[in-house]
Amino acid sequence: MKIKVCVGSSCTLLGSMNILDQLDDLKEIIKEDAENYTDEELEVEAIKCLGFCKDTEEKVAPVVVIEGEPMYNATGQAVMEKIINKIRK
């Protein structure tokens, strides 16, 4: 599963590095309980500013894209829940 975490300036200011740390930890959580998850690999990538925040006046940062689908105002818990629901057996 491809997970892209925007680490542009606005997203970094509002916590995208924490989301990256939490995704590292999620890999550990899955490893500890491997038999309950599919063996799909989490491919986490930190990416340059996607420009979502620059096209709008709305608050969108941080942005995380999971399998092509963007999540705005992403929080660690929402991102992890979405991933876990996709790979839990």
Contacting positions for other proteins (CB under 8 A): 7-10, 12-18, 20-21, 46-49, 75-76
* Long-range contacts, stretch 66-74, CB < 8 angstroms, 24+ apart: 66/1, 66/2, 66/3, 66/4, 67/1, 67/2, 67/3, 68/2, 74/16, 74/19
Tell me how far, at minimum, the Cβ of 87 lies from other proteins, in Å. 23
Question: Smallest distance, Å, CB 38 to other proteins?
Answer: 27
Residue (15 or 37) nearer to other proteins, CB:
15
For other proteins, give the closer residue by CB, 21 or 67: 21
